[in-house]
Amino acid sequence: MPDGTTITEEHLHEERRTVETLLGGTIGGGIIAIAGVVLAIIGLGGAYPRLLLGAATIAVGISFLIEGAAIASRLAELVHDTTSGRVEMSELGGGVTGETLAGIVGIVLGILGSLNVYPATVLPVAAIVYGAGLILGAGANVKINELFVANREDTVAARSAIRQAVLATTGLQIFVGLAAITLGIIALASAYPITLALVAMLIVAGAFVLSNTAIASRLVAVLRR
């Protein structure tokens, strides 16, 4: 039977691998979100706004899927640790999150808009879906991150610093979610639905860039210990 030292080393190796996986997903999601920002800005400049809005909507949807996967990964590890491996995520519904559902719906709507299937309707609806996804996911994200931090940080100062960063990111997430919903609703009744939907995608993608940058910096700090 392996001694305590071997078990500790194996546990630390597994944790490091988890953090590296999360970091890779965070960086990938951030890059895709940056693409969404660029597409939205170019669209607002007047170059193929409908097509670029559809592409930006798809990019934001992929960012949602990556964010949902990251949350599911943290939750799966927490469930495994707190139950000593007796319960797995497959027994709790597979870790499907609000972000994941918002991403899937948004991508479908983005594809339809790109194909010119009622773009003035489906693309603003995608903005509303993304806004709702951000708001619904905010509370769960805070709770999961706090549990994740409590399980891994030994010092009160480290827990407090990371908790403050999580709360700040969540506040931004809720604000952007409300703004996206508002813009999407106005766009449905406006003479400029594509323009307003582009603005909504721009702020949602921008929020993902800021959020992923903050998360990546925390994960890098963990890896450097």
- Domain ranges within the chain, ordered by starting residue: 4-223
Conformational region of residue 155, where left means phi above 0, alpha means psi within -120 to 50, and beta covers everything else: beta
| The pLDDT value given to residue 210 | 83
| The pLDDT value given to residue 109 | 97
Tell me what percent of the residues of the chain surpass a pLDDT of 90: 40
> Quick check: 169 and 211 in contact, CB under 8 A?
yes
Dist CA 209 CA 188 (whole Å): 26
Place of tokens 């809720």: 174
| The pLDDT value given to residue 67 | 77
| The pLDDT value given to residue 77 | 61
| The pLDDT value given to residue 86 | 45
Average pLDDT, the chain: 77
- The burial class, CB within 10 Å (0-12 / 13-18 / 19+), for 64 is buried
What's the predicted TM-score (pTM) here? 0.77
> Quick check: 182 and 196 in contact, CB under 8 A?
no
Q: What is the DSSP string of 161-174?
A: HHHHHHHHHHHHHH
| The pLDDT value given to residue 123 | 96
Confidence of residue 99 (pLDDT cuts 50, 70, 90): confident
Distances (CA, A) of 31 to 25, 34, 69, 152, 205: 10, 5, 16, 27, 10
